[in-house]
Structure 1
Amino acid sequence: MSGLFAVLRRSPRASAGLGLLLVLLLLALLAPLLSRYSPTSQEFGTWLKPGAPGHLLGTTALGQDIWTQLVYGARLTLLIGFTAGLIATAIATAMGLAAAYFGGRTDEAINVLLNVFLVLPGLPLLIIASAFLRGGGVWSIILVISLTGWAWGARVLRSQALALRNRDFVQAAIASGEGAGRIIFSEMLPNLAGLIAASFFGTALYAVLSEASLAFLGLGDVGQVTWGTMLYWAQAKGSLLQGAWWWIAVPGLCIALLGTAFALINFGIDEVTNPKVVHAGRATRVLRKKSAAPVKAAPEGQALLAIRNLDAGYVTPNGNVRAVRDVSLDVQPGEFLGLAGESGCGKSTLAFAATRLLDAPGVVFGGEARLAGQDLLALSPEELRRVRWKDYSLVFQASMNALNPVLKVREQVYDAMQAHGVRDPAQLEARAKELFALVGIREDYLNAYPHQLSGGMKQRVVIAIALALEPRLIVMDEPTTALDVVVQRQILQEIDAVRRRLGIAVVFITHDLSLLVEMSDRIAIMYAGEVVEEAPAHQLYAEPKHPYTRRLMSAFPPLDGPRERREGIPGRPPSLSVTLPGCPFFERCPSRMPGTCDVQKPARAELEPGRSVACFLHSPATVQSPAAQEVAVYDKRSVV
C-alpha cells in the first residue's frame, strides 16, 4: 500500500487516473445502495426527463430508470474490461517472452500467428467470432475479446524482450546454468513490468470499446445491462429523435471517462518507471532557491569555469541522493584539469550538473557554475542551446556509440556547426577536413558510415565534433575507457596537442590516476561527492597529502624498480543518500582520529597557492556549508 501511495505522490497523472477509476468502481460496487430499483424494471413512465421525481437521469422508452441502468451496467462493463484485459495481457506476455527468449522456430511460429491476428481487421473478426459464440452470455464476449486482442501487446513485448535477451545480466544467468523459467520470470519479467501494466490498461480499454461496439450493433447479449447495451437500446428506440439525448450521452460519457482514466494511468506508469520520458529534451532541473544570495564568483578574468558550492544528485522514491556535495572548483583558460576518484564518487555527476546535462531524475540542489562569468544554471533552454558546443562542449563516456549508424560521418560533423549558423557548404567542408587533420583521421573517411570505422577512429570523430566550433572548454568523461592502451595514448596525445595549439581548457574525468599524473596540469581528487584534495599534477604525484590520495597513488604499480606488493583500499564508500556528519573517508582512513573526524567535517585548507586538502591532519578548520542546509530543505519536500 505504501508503494501505491508513493506512485500517486510522484505522478499527478496516475493520481487523477486512479481517482477517476476508483469513482467508477465505487459506482459498480455500491449499485444496490445507490439505487433502490431493478435495472430491468419497466414500471415507470416512459421518456421522463432528468430530474424527474425519483429519477435522477430520467427513464427510457421502456420505462426503465437510466441511473439504475448506469450503475448496474458499470458492473458488467468493468468486469468485461478487466477480465478480458487480464486474459489478453497474460497471453501477450507469454507469447512475447517465449518468442524472444527461445528464438528460432518458436519465434517464427509465434510471429506467423501474430501476423495473422494483426492483419485481420479487428471489428469484423470480433463480429465473426461472436456470431459463433452467440448465446453464451458475458463470458463468451470476454473470451472473444481476449482471443482477438492479445496480438498487438505481444508484438510490443516481444520487441522489448528481444533487447533484454541480449543484455549482459541475462547472458550471465544463462551461462551460470539457470533454467529458462527462472530467467524469464526472475530476470526478464520484472524489467518489463511497466510495459506489461501499460499493455493491460490498453487492452482493458480495447475490451470495453469492443463490447460497446458489439452491443451497439446488436451482436452481443442485449438482454444484459452494460453501458454498451444502453447505447444499443437508445439507438434502437430513436432516443435522439425523441429529444432524449441524455440516454446516449450518459453511458457514452462514462465510457469516455473510463478511457481517460486508463490513459492517465498509462501516462503515470511512464512517469514512474521511466522519468526520462517526462524530462526528455529538458535541461537539468535546478531546484536552488531563487531568493538565495549569489555565491561569490571567481575574480573577473581569472577562472574560465568557476564552480561554487555545487550540490547535485538524484531524486528517488527513497529520498534524495547527494552525489555532489558542496563542491567548489576552478578551471583556468587553457588548463588541463584532471578529475579523479574511484567509481561512484560523483565525477560525472559534477561535470553534467555544472554543464546542465544531468538527465532525470538528476537535479541541482544549489550552488553556481559560471562559464566566463555567466551562470549556466540560470540560463533558459534557448540560451543553453546557443552556448553549448560554441562556448563549451562535451565528450561522453563511450561516446563513440553516439554516432548515428544510418548517417554518414560528414553529416554528423556538419550538424553542430549548422546548428550555430554555419551554412556555407564550402566552409563546412573545409572545417570538417581541418578537424579530421587535427585528430589524425584521413579526410576520405568523411564519406564513411560509423560501422566502417574502428573504435578509436569513431572516438576521434566525436572529439572532432566537440572541437568544431573551437569552444573555450571541453569536458571529457572517460573518453578512452573502451579503447586499448595504444589507441588511448594516441588519442590523449592528440587531445593534448590540440589543446595547446588552440588554447582550449579541458576537464578530463577518469578513475585512472596514473594517466592524469602524466597528462594534467592540475588534479582534483573526489571522494563520496566531495573534492578532498587539489594540487598541481607533479606535486600530487610527489607528495599526496590526503590519506585517500595516498591510497589511490599506491594502488597502481610503478613501471620500474623492484616488485612490491600492492593493496587496494579496504572497506567501501559511504552511502550518498544519508547525511555525513564527519569526514566521508573516516571508516577507511588509516590515520583517522575518533571523536574528531567522525563528528566534524574538515574544511578545505589551502596549503599553498593552487594546493588544498580537506583533512584534519593538515588543518583544524571545520566546514559550515549553507548549501548543505539548503539541500536539507529539498530533502523534506519529496521533490519530483
Structure 2
Amino acid sequence: MNGVITILRRSPRASLGLGILVTLVLLALLAPAFTAHSPTSQAYGTWLKPGGAHLLGTTALGQDIWAQLLYGARLTLLIGFAVGLVATAIATAMGLAAAYFGGKTDEAINVLLNVFLVLPGLPLLIIASAFLRGGGVWSIILVISLTGWAWGARVLRSQALALRNRDFVQAAVASGEGAGRIIFAEMLPNLAGLIAANFFGTALYAVLSEAGLAFLGMGDVSQVTWGTMLYWAQAKGSLLQGAWWWVAAPGLCIALLGTAFALINFGIDEVTNPRVMHANKATRVLRRKHANAAPLASPGSAQSLLAIRNLDAGYVTPGGNVRAVRDVSLDVAPGEFLGLAGESGCGKSTLAFAATRLLDAPGVVFGGEARLAGKDLLGLSPEELRRVRWKDYSLVFQASMNILNPVLKVREQVYDAMQAHGIQDQAKLEARARELFQLVGIREDYLSAYPHQLSGGMKQRVVIAIALALEPKLVVMDEPTTALDVVVQRQILQEIDAVRRRLGISIVFITHDLSLLVEMSDRIAIMYAGEVVEEASASAIYTHPKHPYTRKLMSAFPPLEGPRERRAGIPGRPPALSQSIQGCPFFERCPSRMPGVCNEKPLQKFDEATGHSVACFLYDPTVDPQRKEQHEALASD
C-alpha cells in the first residue's frame, strides 16, 4: 500500500491513470446505481437517439446502449485483469526459471518461447477460439493467456539473466541460500517494475484481443462486453443508420482503459527507475538565493577557476529530502590540485557531481551557485552544458575503467569526445590520440587494441587520456585509482600530477585515502556529513591538523618509519543526512566535544591561519579557553 501511495504522490501521470481506471471499475461494479435498464432487455424502441431515458440511445434490437456499456465493462475488465495475472505469472515463472537455472532448463524454455513467438498471434487466437467456442468467458481468458505470455517471458528472461550475474546474487549463491529464496527475495523485487509493466501491457492486449475476436464473431456474442457491442454495431449497420455512438462508446472506453494502463506504467517506471526517466537530462536545480551568500569571484578573476558558494544538494526520496551536501563553499584556483577527503558517504562525490551538473536523478541541487571561469554551471541549458563539458571541464569516474565499450577499439573511443566537439580531421585526431597516450605513459600501438586486451591500470590511463583530450581547464577525478594496486596507483598519480603541471590544468581529486592527498595535493578540504569541516594546504593538514575529525583520519594510517603504534578507527557513525543537524555534525563521535556548545550553537568556520579554516568550536574565540583546554586534555587521554 505504501508503494502505491508513493507512486501516486511522485507521479501525476500515474495518479491520472489510476483515476481513470478506478472510475471505469466503479462504473462497472455500481452499474445498477447508474442505470435502471437491463443490458439485455429488448423492451425499448429501436434506434433511439441519445437523450431522455436513454443516455446513449438504443440498439437495433431496442437495447439500452448506456446499460450495455456499464455492464459490459464487468466482463471486459475481468478478462483484462485475469489474463494479465495469468500471463504475467507464466511469463515471470518461465523467465526467472530460465535465467536462474540456465543449462538445459534455459534451452527448453527458449525453444518453447521461440515456438510461441514464431506463431502468428491473431490466427492462433482465432483457431484456439474456434475449438473452445461455447466455453464462455473463461475459455477466452485461457486462450488469450496461453497466447500472450511469450513476449513478456522473453523480456523478463533477458533482464533476469543480467541480474543472475550481479555480485549480490552470486554472493547469495556462495553463501548457500536456496534457489527459492534467491529467486523470490533477491531477484524478483529487482524486476518489480518490469513485471508490473508486463501485467498492464498484457491486460491491454487481452482487452483488445477479446474485442477483436468478438468483432470477428469468434467470441461468445451472447455475452455483453465492449467487444460484443462492437460486433453487434457493425452487424446491424449502425454507421449506415447514423448511430455512430453505438460504435464510439465502447471504442472510447477501450481507448481510455489503454490510456490508464499506459499512464500507470509510466508512473511505475518513473518511481522504480528514475535514472531511465531522466536519462540525458541535466541535474535538476531548485535554485534559491542564500541569505548569507558570499560574493562570487568575478568572471575574470585569476584567483578562482571553480567557485562554489553555499551549495546545497542531495536526493529526493519517499522518506523526505536527503541533504548530502550542506551549505558548502569552495574555490579551486587555476592549476591547483585540490583534494577532497572524508569517509564514504560524507558527500564528496555528490558535491563534485552537483557542481558540474552530473548528479543523476533522484539527485537534485536545492540551492547555491557553481561557476567555472565565470560561467554559471547551474544555470546553463542542456545544450550549453554539452558544449562546455569536456572542453572546459571533464571527469574521471570511480571505477571508470569499466566505462570503455568492449566492442569498440580504443582509438574510436579516444576520438569520440574530440569528434563530438567538432574535430573531424582524421590526421588531427590520430596525432592528438598518440600525443595523449604519450602523456599518460601508454604505447601508441595500444590504440588499435580492444579494452579487454589492456590491464586495469592501462584502461585507467586510457580514461584519463580521454578526459584530457580537449585540454580542459578543470578535471574532476572521483577515486580513479580505487580498484588498482598500490604500485599502479602511485604511477598513475605521478603521471596525473606531471600532466597537470605540464598543461596547467586544475584537478579536483576525490578519495577517502588521506595519505594519497597529503603527498599529491596543493590544498585539501576535509568533508564530514555533507560539510567542509577543515580546509588548508596539504602541508598544514599533515603537520598541524586542527579538527578532531581530521586528526582521527590522519592517525588512521601508520607512518613509514618510527616505532610501531596501535591504530584505531573512529567509533560511532555519521549522522543521518535526511535529518536536520543542530550544531556540529561530529559531536557524537568527537573526543573533544563540549556539551552545551558543540551540540547547540550554529556551526561556523574559524580562520586559524592564512588559508587554514576549521569548523570547530575549539577555535571559537567566544568559548572559555579553560573549557577548551580541559576537553582537549580529555581527548588526548
Output the TM-score relative to the length of structure 1: 0.95
Q: Secondary structure of 1:326's match?
A: strand
CA contact (8 A) 1:295 1:367 kept: no
1:397-447 CA-partner distances (Å, limit 9, x unpaired)? 011111122222112111111222222221111111111110111111111
- Moved runs in structure 1, 4+ residues, more than 4 A? 290-295
CA gap of 1:569–1:449, structure 2 versus 1, over 3 A, is: same
Counterparts of 1:305-344 in structure 2, within 5 Å, are 305-344=306-345
Q: Distance in 1 between matches of 2:450 and 2:575?
A: 45
Please state how far the C-alpha of 1:187 moved relative to its aligned partner. 1.1
Shift of 1:289: 2.6
- Equivalent residues in 2 for 1:30-429, closer than 5 Å: 30-51=30-51, 53-289=52-288, 295-298=294-297, 300-429=301-430
- How far apart are the structure 1 equivalents of 2:13 and 2:577? 30
Deviation at 1:2, TM superposition (A): 4.6
Give structure 1 stretches of 5+ with no counterpart. 623-640
> Structure 1 residues 196-205 or 404-413, which shifts more?
404-413
Classify 1:384/1:600 alpha carbon distance in 2 versus 1 (closer, same or farther; 3 Å): same
C-alpha distance in 2, partners of 1:238/1:283? Answer: 55
Rate the CA distance shift 1:83–1:523 in 2: closer, same or farther, 3 A. same
The worse-fitting range, judged by mean Cα deviation, of 416-425 and 590-599 is 416-425
Q: Aligned partners of 2:291 and 2:46: how far apart in 1?
A: 69
What is the letter of the counterpart of residue 22 of structure 2?
Answer: L
Q: Which amino acid aligns with 1:46?
A: T
Q: Secondary structure at the match of 1:499?
A: helix
Q: Which residue of 1 aligns with 2:630?
A: none
Q: d(CA) in 2 for partners of 1:475 and 1:130?
A: 63
Q: Following the alignment from structure 1 to structure 2, what is the Cα–Cα distance between the partners of residues 604 and 373? A: 25
| Offset of residue 293 of structure 1 | 9.1
C-alpha distance in 2 between matches for 1:39 and 1:295: 73
User: Which whole-Å CA distance do the structure 1 matches of 2:555 and 2:302 have between them?
Assistant: 38
Higher deviation after alignment, 597-606 or 138-147: 597-606
**1:468 is aligned to 2:454:** no
* Alpha-carbon distance change, 536 to 290 in structure 1, aligned in 2, over 3 angstroms: closer
Query: Number of residue pairs matched?
Result: 621
Instruction: Structure 2: give runs of 5+ residues left out of the alignment.
Output: 624-637
Give CA-to-partner distance per residue, 1:99-156, whole Å, 9 cap, x none: 1111111111111111111110111111111112111100110111111111111111
Equivalent AA in structure 2 for residue 115 of structure 1: N
Q: For 2:416, what is the secondary structure of its paired residue? A: helix
Assess if the C-alpha contact under 8 Å between 2:290 and 2:310 holds in 1: no
CA 1:211–1:568 in 2, change beyond 3 Å: closer, same or farther? same
> Which SS does the other structure have where 1:617 is aligned?
helix
Contact in 2 for aligned 1:231/1:251 (Cα 8 Å): yes
**Mapping of residues 411-560 of structure 1, within 5 Å:** 411-560=412-561
Does the aligned pair in 2 maintain the 1:605–1:621 contact within 8 Å?
Answer: no
Are the structure 2 counterparts of residues 56 and 291 from structure 1 closer, same or farther at C-alpha, using a change threshold of 3 Å? farther
- Take 1:168 and 1:427, find their aligned partners in 2: how far apart are those partners? 42
Question: 3-state SS of the aligned residue for 1:266?
Answer: helix
Residue 621 of structure 1 and its aligned partner are, at CA, apart by 6.8
The structural deviation recorded for 1:233 is 0.6
SS at match of 2:463: helix
Task: Give the superposition deviation at 1:456.
Answer: 1.0
Whole-Å separation in 2 of the counterparts to 1:291 and 1:491: 40
* TM-superposition CA deviations, 1:510-547 (whole Å, max 9, x none): 00001111111111100000000111111111111100
- The one-letter code of the counterpart of 2:16 is A
Query: 1:618 & 1:290 partners in 2: Cα distance?
Result: 29
Contact 2:311 2:327 in 1 (8 A): yes
Give the 3-state SS of the residue equivalent to 1:475 in structure 2: strand
Cα pair distance change 1:344/1:235, threshold 3 Å: same
Structure 1: distance between partners of 2:308 and 2:140: 65
The aligned amino acid for 1:536 is: S
How many percent identity over aligned positions? 85
Map Cα deviations across residues 143-180 of structure 1 (whole Å, 9 max, x no partner). Answer: 11111111111111111111111112111211221111
* Amino acid aligned to 2:536: A
Q: Give the SS at the match of 1:301.
A: coil
Letter in 2 for 1:123: L
CA shift, 1:292, in A, is 7.6
Please tell me whether the aligned partners of residues 302 and 333 of structure 2 are also in contact (alpha carbons under 8 angstroms): no
Q: Which range is displaced more, 10-19 or 234-243?
A: 234-243
Q: Quick one: distance in 1 between partners of 2:470 and 2:131? A: 69
Q: Is the 8 A contact 1:602 1:621 kept in 2?
A: no
Moved more, 2-11 or 247-256: 2-11
- Specify the alignment match of 1:637 in structure 2: none
> Is 1:594 the counterpart of 2:595 in the alignment?
yes
* Matched residue SS, 1:532: strand
Residue 197 of structure 2 aligns to a residue whose secondary structure is helix
Contact 1:602 1:620 in 2 (8 A): no
Question: Which AA in structure 2 matches 1:93?
Answer: T
Q: Distance in 2 between matches of 1:298 and 1:381?
A: 24
The letter for the 2-side match of 1:553 is M
Q: Is the 8 A contact 2:290 2:367 kept in 1?
A: no
- Conserved? CA contact 2:293–2:309, under 8 Å: no
1-structure distance, mates of 2:563, 2:293? 54
